[in-house]
Chain A
Amino acid sequence: MALLHVNKIGLAIMATVNREKAMTQLRILFFVVLGMALFSTGRLHADADIKPILADARATLTTVAAKGFEWTTTRQLIAAAEVALAAGDKAHSLNLAKAALNEAEKSLLQANYAEAHWQDGMPF
């Protein structure tokens, strides 16, 4: 989505200004932004933000797994979040941890719903 979003901006710039000029502008923007991004992400997301979310995701997943309702995707997200954290990519790690927690919670909802409403699935 980000790609499209930026494409629109890119297209707009390219449409109004000469292509060469636009490319130069974009190149400058690229380095400025890259520098800012590298400089800021480490500070914005400390380990302390990510680890509790990951712990929560793991705990919820354990509960769900005991009910037999774990999704195949959730533990992959947790693993990916851990890899990103170890690699120092904290912004990415935080996103993955949040996604993992969201999935764990949704699968728990599903498990609890199934327990109460499984008869709804009977097509009689």
Chain B
Amino acid sequence: MLYFNKKMIKITACLMGLFIGTGIPVLWAESRAVEAGKVLTFDRKKGNCLSCHVIAGGTLMGTTGPPLMMMKLRFPDKEKLYKQVFDARKRNQKTIMPPFGSHAILSKEEVGAVVEYLYTL
């Protein structure tokens, strides 16, 4: 019952959004996890990945970390990429990459969306 309700709340929230305005529903209808992941990746208050990584299509990009490209090749196992974004310290204790998941900079779902987007690069 609890689960059902939670899901329903989410659905309600989204449907409310769907009914508000005319432009927004169109945008949302076109959006996919990848799109949401891209937004999170570029958002300075969220992933802010461009701060340290070069990504095709980005501006004012950092050079601190490796360029984010050919991610499928570099991380054939998607789960490994997820873990890298969630907490890169697990693989390398001395990394300077922020532990986005462990430190709640991004939620689990948000890390998931970022990974979906990175996998298209």
Contacts and interface: CB of A to CB of B under 8 A. Distances in A.
Q: Does A touch B (CB under 8 Å) in the complex?
A: yes
Interface of A: 1-7, 9-11, 14, 26-27, 29-30, 33-34, 36-37, 40-41, 44, 73, 91, 99, 102-103, 106, 120
A27 B93 CA distance: 51
Given A10-B18, A99-B104, A103-B104, A4 B32 contact: yes
B109 A1 contact: yes
A37 B8 contact: yes
A33 B104 contact: no
Nearest to B5: A40
A22 B8 CA distance: 17
- Chain B binding site: helix, strand, loop or mixed by DSSP? helix
Interface stretch (B9-17, B53-61, B69-77): B9-17
Contacts of A2: 10-11, 13-14
B52 interface: no
Given A3-B17, A26-B15, A44-B2, A33 B113 contact: no
A27 B16 CA distance: 9
Given A4-B32, A106-B103, A36 B109 contact: no
B40 to A, nearest CB: 10
A58 to B, nearest CB: 17
A9 B7 CA distance: 12
Interface string B4-31: 0100111111111111000000001101
